Amino acid sequence: MYLGLDMGTSGLRALLVDGNGAPVGSAVRAYAPKHPHPGWSEQDPADWVAAVDGALGELAAAHPQAMSAVRGMGVSGHMHGATLLDADGAVLRPCILWNDTRSAAEAAELDGAAAVRDLSGNIVFPGFTAPKLLWVARNEPDVFARTATVLLPAAYMNFHLTGERFADMSDSAGTAWLDVGARDWSARLLEVSGMRPDQMPRLVEGCEAGGTLRPDLADRWGMSAGVIVVGGAGDNAASACGVGAMREGTGFVSLGTSGVVLTGRDGYAPLPESAVHTFCHAVPGQWYQMGVILAATDSLNWLSRVTGASPAELATELGDTFDGPGALRFMPYLSGERTPHNDSRIRAGFLNIDVGSSRRDMTRAVMEGVAFALCDCAEALKASGARLDSLLAIGGGAQSRYWVELIATVLDVPLALPDKGDFGAALGAARLAMVGAGAGTVDEIMTPPPVRETIAPNAALTGAYRDAYAAWREIYPAVRGLT
């Protein structure tokens, strides 16, 4: 048996799988970030500890025999968070999360420093870890002076589980301290943000053993001695492991609150000026790239709030088929945009509303705007040399066949819908534990899920949507200076 823990921003999921990777049981616990000031987003690591203890206690009560057979554990976590520990391992302040924007000035400063993009392979975004520590140094100097180690959320859970300070490559790639091509901490990147190598955790691959479960925790949860805890992964890398998106040309489109186009890479090929994220994958010798938009289903949720109709009702009005792009245009920049604009100030808007525009027209425009924004991500990925041969459609928005076929047509790439099953970040973390505990190789374990259906682009409409996308792309440069 193997365990995967998925630590999200709003809760934790623990997944117990058998030796074939099939789910045996799961448990969830909720927690929430706190926002003490505008733009701040923090979490108390004690909430994560309590969530893990509750979830694994529930699994131990429901599946005692299976829990006693666990041989490995893996942790997936929300990336970029800064958890500061003193020399004794005590938490010094709440963790500053990925969606915290207080360090925007520090991020811009680091991003402009010599060699930073060349070494990190990425723009230094305000959400990354390095600018957070520069902010702490300037605004909480007493805390900064006592900081012995900085751990990402998943690495902090590794520390809680094992007493060892270690982190995996995929998560660490989002700090702006890692030389992503060399898969090692960079002395230059640390120096430019005022950090030292001894403040960094030991690096391991995501499927490599980093430590063993503490005996007191093993006893508490009915587990045997010597359970391996592997490096784990950042959440998107873990999701890629869960759906088998490991190699060049394989990937997924995720229609969640945010939107992601992700593909595996067999080599390191950064293109930071496009705002594409280039990170180490969770297994040796592999990388992945992704474009991210900040409001995918969140755009439909917003329209739902202002119209009073549920997202499902809005989608139902469109049906399952479409006949070409509408005249109404929507920019899905409700919270700014990441790829390819790296613009935190831009905001959403409709264009071409007239007296005859209906709620249905607005829904279609929202879905088209999200599809076009995902196409921006796909084009940025292709500009770095990535291939998008085979993509899965995952996330809550993928329940709308209309939206999936629309995106397939705009991207001109077939999208496969996985069969019902468990294929998220918790499964990816459990799969990493399976490899680390010797249950099989990466190729044997990280397999794609069964596909229920593959939705091809609508060949009769690809040209029309190509033209509509070209027209839509002209909106951003025209309006960005008006906000």
Q: Which residues are catalytic?
A: 235
3-state secondary structure of 178: strand
Cα separation of the two ends of the chain: 54
| CB-count exposure of residue 257 (10 Å: 0-12, 13-18, 19+) | middle
Of 203, 198, 200, give the one whose Cα is nearest residue 184: 203
- Give the C-alpha separation, 396 to 409, whole Å: 19
Phi/psi at 450 (5° precision): -60, 140
Question: If you search the block for the tokens 């500061």, which residue do you land on?
Answer: 84
Beta strand 72-77 with 233-234 is parallel
SS3 track for 254-308: EECCCEEEEEEECCCCCCHHHCCEEEECCCCCCEEEEEEECCCHHHHHHHHHHHC
Contact 242, 424 (CB under 8 A): yes
Instruction: Using alpha carbons, select from 268, 265, 235 the residue that is nearest to residue 168.
Output: 235
Pairwise CA distance, residues 60 & 67, whole Å: 6
DSSP, res 163: S
CA distance 346 to 470: 19
Nearest to 274 by CA among 383, 371, 187: 383
* Dist. CA 23–CA 63, nearest whole Å: 12
Residues facing 27 on adjacent strands:
14
Distance of alpha carbon 457 from alpha carbon 445, whole angstroms: 30
